[in-house]
Amino acid sequence: MRRAALTTLALAIMLAPLGASSGNGFGTLERRLEAALHAKPLHPHLLGFAALMGRMFDRRQAAGLHLAIFPAPGAVDVRQLAAGALPADWMRMVYSRDNNDGEQALIYVRQRSRNSFQMLILAFDPQGSDNDSGGKDGDGPQVVLMSLNVNPAQLMQQAEQRRR
Amino acid sequence: MPRRPLYFLLLLLLAAPLWVRAQQQPQLKLDLPGLAAQADQVSEVTLDGPVLRLGLAFISSDATGVSPQERDLLTRLKGIYVRSYEFKHLVVLSPADLADLATLRRQLRGGGWTRIVNVHSRREGETDEVYLRTSPGGNSILGLVVISLQPDEVDLVNIVGDIQPSELAALGGHLGIPSLSNAPAGKKH
């Protein structure tokens, strides 16, 4: 009995990493950014609630929306920040960089199910956020991490409905 | 049975999948790091596997204006790789950049690759090259590479998939690929 319990426990410990969701790339990358940038992220208030309300009215609204904004100490390379942080099922789809001001964007995608994908966007904004007058609030450079689930068929349905 | 031929046979059997894969893989190393460091805007798009299916899922809707034939072609693609380097000024290729381009072109010599378009315009300062990799029987195209050098932009496109020769024209004008309908092969200006 004791041997069976120990065996089960050992098996559970060995298999636990396999059960851990590789889908939570947002959390993984968020922790990596916290460590690399030595800063806590800002999570916009009520974003989750707003997304939930949106989905109550229209289930085709993007789900799994998470946003974290980090102050950056200066210029950063988002590829280096993300390098090796995500499991192999995440694939880099787009990388874009403006060498004039250092603005960068990385987009990773992972398939969740046959019709659903998870998208991670990691961006570096060297000038911080815009204020309502079109100027800059002087927030300084920021690294923005966003995650959302995408169902292309539903999105296109929505776009088609709006077009009509 | 003697041991030595058996060992060779075993080695061959183990290595064969790697050799076959190498021969069949028309995806190339496209990056030009020197140009990436100099360019004002760098864009890298990699669509393959599930990521390609995501992109194709968006165009499967009738709203996108993609014809059924074009959609069928796109669903047979296995990978789309684009590297684009934009400059605010005239591009000046350094010896290192030229070496990187030479390395890329070396990948396109032999191994089933053929250059079908080589157009250079002195007046516009533009060079366009298109390479195709065909299946052993020549019935379909397994890969396509476009190298486009413009005065203020360098674009590289690699498409991997099963493309019928008659469908080549449909790809022209998309994804940075120049029009292929009337381009003669190997013509220089």
Here the ipTM equals: 0.71
Distance CA B87, CA B151 (A): 9
Q: Which of A16-20, A36-40, B119-123 has the weakest average pLDDT?
A: A16-20
Kindly give the pairing relationship between strand A91-98 and strand A104-113. Answer: antiparallel
Nearest residue, CB atoms, A94 vs list B38, B44, B64: B44
More confident residue, A147 or A15: A147
- pLDDT at residue A6, as a whole number: 61
- pLDDT at residue A37, as a whole number: 93
CB proximity B188 to A under 8 Å = no
- pLDDT at residue A16, as a whole number: 44
Are residues A95 and B49, on separate chains, in Cβ contact within 8 Å?
Answer: no
Of B85, B93, B103, nearest in space to B36 by CA: B85
Closest-CA distance of chain B to residue A114, Å: 9
- pLDDT at residue B44, as a whole number: 92
Phi–psi pair at B131, nearest 5 degrees = -120, 145
Helix %, strand %, coil % of chain A (to 5): 35, 30, 35
Question: Which residues of chain A lie closer than 8 angstroms to B58, CB-CB?
Answer: 152, 155-156
- pLDDT at residue B76, as a whole number: 84
Distance from CA of residue A139 to its chain's centroid? 21
Question: What digits encode the pLDDT tens for the residues A73-122?
Answer: 888 999 999 999 999 889 998 999 999 989 999 999 988 887 788 999 99
- pLDDT at residue A22, as a whole number: 44
Closest-CA distance of chain B to residue A156, Å: 6
Q: pTM of the prediction? A: 0.73
Mean pLDDT over A32-56 rounds to 75
Question: What digits encode the pLDDT tens for the residues A120-161?
Answer: 999 999 986 554 555 545 568 999 999 988 887 776 666 666
- pLDDT at residue A65, as a whole number: 82
Output the CA–CA distances (angstroms, integers) from residue B57 to A6, A108, B52, B162, in the order listed. 48, 16, 8, 18
- pLDDT at residue B188, as a whole number: 35
Query: What element of type H or E holds A68?
Result: strand A63-71
Nearest residue, CB atoms, A98 vs list B41, B49, B63: B41
pLDDT level of residue A55 (50, 70, 90 thresholds): low
Q: For residue A102, count CB atoms less than 10 angstroms from its CB and return exposed for 0-12, middle for 13-18, buried for 19 or more.
A: middle
Distance CA A94, CA A102 (A): 16
Of A117, A122, A121, nearest in space to A149 by CA: A117
Q: Would you give per-residue pLDDT tens digits along chain B (189 residues)?
A: 556 666 555 555 554 444 444 444 556 888 899 999 999 999 998 888 777 777 776 665 555 566 777 778 878 888 989 999 999 999 889 999 999 999 999 999 888 899 998 999 998 889 999 999 988 887 888 999 999 999 999 999 999 988 887 777 776 666 656 666 544 333 333
Q: Which residues of A121-148 are buried (b: 16+ CB within 10 A; e: fewer)?
A: bbbbbbebeeeeeeeeeeeebbbbbbbb
CB proximity B53 to A under 8 Å = yes
Are residues B43 and A109, on separate chains, in Cβ contact within 8 Å?
Answer: no
More confident residue, A20 or B175: B175
